[in-house]
Amino acid sequence: MPIKNPLLLCGGKFVIFKSARNLLFPMLTAILALSYGCSTSNPTPEYINAIEQNRPLDSESLYKKQLEEKGLSQELYLMEKARITQLQSDFDSSRSSFEKEVEILKQRELDDDTLPGAEINVGSVLVNDNMLPYKARLFEVEMLYLMQSLNYLAKGDLEGATVEIRNADYLLNEAEKARESENFKEETYRSSEAGIQKKLFENQNAIQKNSATKEPADEKSETSDEKPAAEKNVKPADEKSETSDEKPAAEKNVKPADPESNDDTEAVEKTPEQKKADEGKRAEYEQKSMVEYEKNFAGMEEALAQSKSSVLNPYVLYMSGIIHEMNGEFDDAYISYKKGLELMPSNPYLQRDVVRLARNLNKTNDFEDLKSSYPELWKQFAVKTPSGKNGRLIVLYEYGWAPRKTEVFISLGAIAFAYPVYKFKWSPASPMTVSSELGEIGTTSPICYMNAIALRALKEEAKWRIIRQAARAVVKGAVFATGTTMTAASSNSGVQLAGVGIMVASAIYNNVSENADLRCFMSLPENVQILSSSIPAGEHKISFAPRGTQLHLEETVPVIADKTTILRIVQVGPRLIYQRLWPAPEQTDISNKSQEGNNP
């Protein structure tokens, strides 16, 4: 007689195989959900190629299908769309996409207590992390606010740019304080980042009024030490929290979980002995995986050394200083420049800005240190006073694209783990020469290595990722173990055959389903360089020539006496993109110009 359901043949021993029943059905659901999640491929590489080849892209159709589906990568597609449309100088579309992403962030952090590290769903437990919704890392969110501030500048709105850069300031400062806390744990960095973003939204009004960015008495931080209620840890997900009906079944939470706990994979009731055995397996998988996974970062020490932290971005800090200074907020500008210099001490333009503002703002506490560190600059500013006839030229040089993740497999006996890694070859940034009809203005200097920040962020994820992967291995292994038990413990040939079938199916499934989460914000630049110079007011023909290439670009640029001109040059493949961000070409509200404070 054919066996319709082998599990039903176990009679009184059915409870032994309860775990197989409870895991096989969700496994089928997960397979269906995986098919759903992969039905729409990521079009970003295609759009990147179009940008490099200067092929125009229709902003309305970019990621249209992906965003209409509201799938697992919605956040990522919104950020990619915002960045790509910005590179096309469609600043309105870029701003709109960033605003939609911020609304998602706000709704998640204020209305939903589910933390990224605690999230549970059938797909993520039984398949891989691709079944989790993509949630932007903090360094990506900081870049979001920076790029949004550039959108406002490009439309002539200095006030809007200042609000956005204050948001970035707040995230940077709070993230730094959180990581300096003695209670910080690497495996809970995601809950830490979620809590910081929640604080940002809860303190939005104060931040916009600039009351949250003043220098406090505490020497360890240059932002307010006031602790709002929002600083408390976010609570674990409530078991009654609702999920969208538009989401596939795999996205729905199976049960609540403590973000500090890893016990998020229990599908059935287990005895204390079984739980203890599972914990032992997890610990073994975690230890061995950590050793093997760390080997993938062993050859990238030089790249990691270019970034001291994944949450302290000197590009964001430099633009914060520029925008605050333009807005007449000179103390805030000095704080940003100074912190940026701590991260990039060799950048000559940061050195100049810190010395200049320290002298002009009479920051006597820093005088001795600056005199000894930069004696030549100190002397220059001691004898040279601004004539008022020059303008300040700022050049932002963004090079290339962020590195893409690749996949490595770590085999531990019969179990294989897939992990995301970066395998780019480190090389120093090549400068760009900036000249005018008056001669060479200068060369750009690195302010930020985004590839190093992304690499450090991935390394910081290692412990969290390994903990999840080890827990997942225990769950997947339970099905295989059930097949083994059925084969060995029963004298019924039908049950034995079913056990063998479960073992084979489980082994195949474990291999097929093991895929690393390779999603990342790939349209970010590889590195960013800056130039800052004082040049005579008037129209200038300014040329840009990246060293080591045949690329050359010349543009007519207006420079206003005692004001700031901001240019952005983006090198992507064989192409240079030019954007004048300030004063904006489309600027019609002249009153916005008057908001820019004179350099002190």
With the C-alpha atoms ordered 327, 330, 335, 338, is the resulting torsion angle positive or negative?
positive
Report the pLDDT value the prediction gives residue 43, as an integer from 0 to 100: 96
Report the pLDDT value the prediction gives residue 369, as an integer from 0 to 100: 96
Measured distance CA(105)–CA(113) in Å, rounded: 12
For residue 344, what is the DSSP state? -
Pairing relationship of beta strands 432-436 and 439-443 according to DSSP bridges? antiparallel
Please name which of 422, 392, 394 lies closest in space to residue 407, comparing C-alpha atoms.
Answer: 422
Report the pLDDT value the prediction gives residue 381, as an integer from 0 to 100: 87
What is the separation of C-alpha 11 from the centre of its chain, rounded to a whole number of angstroms?
A: 53
Please name which of 396, 303, 327 lies closest in space to residue 164, comparing C-alpha atoms.
Answer: 327
Residue with tokens 């050793």: 291
Report the pLDDT value the prediction gives residue 4, as an integer from 0 to 100: 34
Report the pLDDT value the prediction gives residue 500, as an integer from 0 to 100: 57
Task: Name every residue whose Cβ is closer than 8 Å to that of residue 526 and which is 6 or more positions away in sequence.
Answer: 399, 400, 401, 402, 403, 449, 450, 451
Report the pLDDT value the prediction gives residue 373, as an integer from 0 to 100: 96
For residue 229, what is the DSSP state? G
Report the pLDDT value the prediction gives residue 127, as an integer from 0 to 100: 56
* Token pair for 181: 């806390």
Report the pLDDT value the prediction gives residue 568, as an integer from 0 to 100: 98
Report the pLDDT value the prediction gives residue 123, as an integer from 0 to 100: 45
Three-class SS of residue 256? coil
| Stretches in the chain below the pLDDT threshold 50 | 1-21, 23, 28, 31-39, 113-126, 211-268, 588-598
Instruction: Identify whether 236 is preceded by a cis peptide bond (ω within 30 of 0).
Output: no
- Per residue in 57-98, pLDDT tens? 999 999 999 999 999 999 999 999 999 999 999 999 999 999
Measured distance CA(170)–CA(95) in Å, rounded: 20
Measured distance CA(304)–CA(403) in Å, rounded: 14
**Element holding 357 (H helix, E strand):** helix 348-360
Report the pLDDT value the prediction gives residue 185, as an integer from 0 to 100: 66
Measured distance CA(124)–CA(471) in Å, rounded: 11
